[in-house]
Amino acid sequence: MLYEAIVEELLNEMKSGQLQPGDKLQSIREAAHVFGCSRNTVIRAYGELERRHRIYAVPQSGYYVAHRNHSSIEGTRIESAAQDIIDFEWAGPDRSAMPYRDFQHCLNEAIERYREDMFTYSSGQGLSSLRFQLSRHLRDLQVFTPPERIYVVTGSQQALSLLTGLPFPNGKQNIVVEQPVHAGMVALLQGYIGEVFGISYEEGGMDLERLEALFRDRDVKFFYTVSRFHNPTGYSHTNEARKKMVELARQYDVYIIEDDYMGDLDGDPKNDPMFAYDPSGRVIYVKSFSKVMLPGLRLGLAVLPDGLREGFQRAKAVADVHSPLLTQGALEVYLESGMFAAHIGRMREIYRRKAVLLQEAYRKHLPPGTAHTGSYSGFYTTIELPAPLRAQAVADHLLGRGVRVHPAQHLFLPEFRKEGVIRLSVSQVEEGLLEPGIQAIGDGIRELLRLRSGVKFVKRG
Ligand SMILES: Cc1ncc(COP(=O)(O)O)c(C=O)c1O
């Protein structure tokens, strides 16, 4: 039997109600026996149904029929994402790979599970059962922490905002951030009362001697770093650099906010977060669910040292009492069922492949004089344009050629500002469009350089 026939058969059973949402499908071995085909054929059929979000896999358990009450959801989201331009600007997660159906199932389950709790306010720290699941999940990222130290926040931006506003146990005032840094952090720091120092994040890392000098001489409260798949460069620190930074933090009594917003996408278990090197409680680990799941969830977490817990809890209560119960509950179900782990496995593969294709396309199509950053996964990289091109003019020109990119000048503190850098996110771009997109960017840059150098084109005819 062909795999398409099995797909058809199972879809018919779902349509007729023989198979209900939540029902477990036959194991691969049983199905191969029943359909009289090889196990590989069943695996292919189940894979296809999973891709269409009609079933979902739970590791070590099996395959289940997904809920499908609102057939419009998938259609409208994908339709609205339909691209007539190649969009390297939009930095939300890959729409086509998002587990709407599975998550819908989790939301339904959460409404049932927390029906009574919805009538009252709940813990500002976050649901204890969710924190238990988060603590288990964090172990996979080499972050070993009890649930008591985990604080659920309304997006990791909230953790950054609350921490920036809090007095720290070291009694210091100033902040050090990598340059460039994501727009949310730039905006947050604009009104900061202390001084903000930047440190350049280059290929191969950062100048650790300068970092040490800042820590030693500048009354630094915390150093904010995105340890993997940095936004916008895509760079990740090496284990050696992470260790050294943690050691400097201990030596000079500085806290580190380690923003591991895309840590889930790192498939290499040898890459440790800074948190894993921190015996002194100076690393605050922050994580987002916006890049690997859905930004609309507005969920993130912070793992806090003792000296900050009370102040943070108070600030969180003032900000929004607690993060929404329903999405917390749904994330709990998603983690507990193993769906999150399966989803992460798929995401890792998608972004790893895209990173390889992107780097190949950069090498092939960008003109000399153009530099680009590299990453082995994640969403972001940057292109440094040849002088005298400016990012905004290039972005406008490329839009006319059907490609959207993000001018990156606002991702720098004023004294680090560069006018010739664009950021690319691969999250919305299908694999097959990566190379044509980069080719169009390369051609667009060449075209602008020719125009700039005054070469005149004469129209024939
Ligand atoms: C590096 C980094 N950290 C944190 C955030 C904030 O994410 P959220 O508040 O959606 O969790 C962003 C948003 O893009 C980001 O790029």
Q: Provide the pLDDT for residue 71.
A: 35
Distance CA(223)–CA(303), nearest Å, equals: 16
Residues flanking ligand 1, CB < 6 Å: 155-157, 182, 184, 226, 231, 259, 261, 288, 290, 295, 300
Q: Pick from 152, 177, 178, 261 the residue to mutate for probing ligand 1's pocket: most ligand atoms within 8 Å of its CB.
A: 261
Whether the predicted pLDDT of 105 surpasses 60 = yes
Distance CA(379)–CA(264), nearest Å, equals: 12
Task: State residue 9 phi and psi, 5-degree precision.
Answer: -60, -45
Q: Helix, strand or coil for residue 366?
A: coil
Distance CA(151)–CA(148), nearest Å, equals: 8
Closest ligand 1 atom to 290 CA:
10
- What average pLDDT score do residues 86-104 get? 86
pLDDT tens per residue across span 56-90: 777 678 888 876 543 333 333 333 344 479 999 98
Whether the predicted pLDDT of 357 surpasses 90 = yes
- What average pLDDT score do residues 309-335 get? 97
* Dihedral sign computed on CA atoms, order 375, 377, 380, 386: positive
Residue pair 274/227 in contact by the 8 Å Cβ criterion: yes
Q: Provide the pLDDT for residue 220.
A: 98
Q: What is the DSSP letter of 23?
A: P
- Listing DSSP states for 163-179 in one string gives HHHS--TT---EEEEEE
Cα 160 to middle of ligand 1, angstroms: 9
Whether the predicted pLDDT of 457 surpasses 60 = no
Q: Provide the pLDDT for residue 74.
A: 31
DSSP alpha helix (H) spans, 321-388? 325-336, 339-365
DSSP alpha helix (H) spans, 124-238? 128-140, 156-165, 183-190, 208-217
Cα 448 to middle of ligand 1, angstroms: 33
Taking the complete model, does pTM exceed 0.75, yes or no?
A: yes
Distance CA(393)–CA(391), nearest Å, equals: 6
- What average pLDDT score do residues 94-100 get? 81
For the chain, the 3-state helix, strand and coil shares in percent, each to the nearest 5, are 50, 15, 35
80-86 CB contacts, 8 Å cutoff, 24+ apart = 81/428, 83/428, 83/433, 84/402, 85/399, 85/402, 85/403, 85/404, 86/402, 86/403, 86/404, 86/429, 86/433, 86/436, 86/437, 86/440
Q: Provide the pLDDT for residue 440.
A: 97
Give all domains of the chain, ordered by start, each with its CATH number: 3-65 (1.10.10.10), 108-337 (3.40.640.10), 342-452 (3.90.1150.10)
Helices (H) and strands (E) in the chain, counts: 15, 15
Q: Provide the pLDDT for residue 68.
A: 55
Closest ligand 1 atom to 298 CA:
10
- CB count in 10 Å sphere of residue 281: 15
Mean of pLDDT over the chain: 91
Q: Provide the pLDDT for residue 275.
A: 97
pLDDT tens per residue across span 270-314: 999 999 998 889 999 999 999 998 888 999 999 999 999 999 999
Quote the Cα angle for 354-357-360, to 5°: 150
Q: Provide the pLDDT for residue 70.
A: 37
Q: Containing H/E element for 424? A: strand 421-425
**Listed residue (331, 322, 288, 286) closest to 305, CA to CA:** 286
| Tokens at 287, concatenated | 């994580």
Whether the predicted pLDDT of 453 surpasses 70 = yes
Distance CA(272)–CA(291), nearest Å, equals: 19
**Listed residue (220, 267, 211, 214) closest to 241, CA to CA:** 211
List beta partners, residue 57: 63
Closest ligand 1 atom to 158 CA:
9
pLDDT tens per residue across span 280-291: 899 999 999 999
Q: Provide the pLDDT for residue 444.
A: 97
- What average pLDDT score do residues 176-186 get? 97
Q: Provide the pLDDT for residue 77.
A: 36
List beta partners, residue 196: 175
Q: What percent of the chain has pLDDT over 90?
A: 79
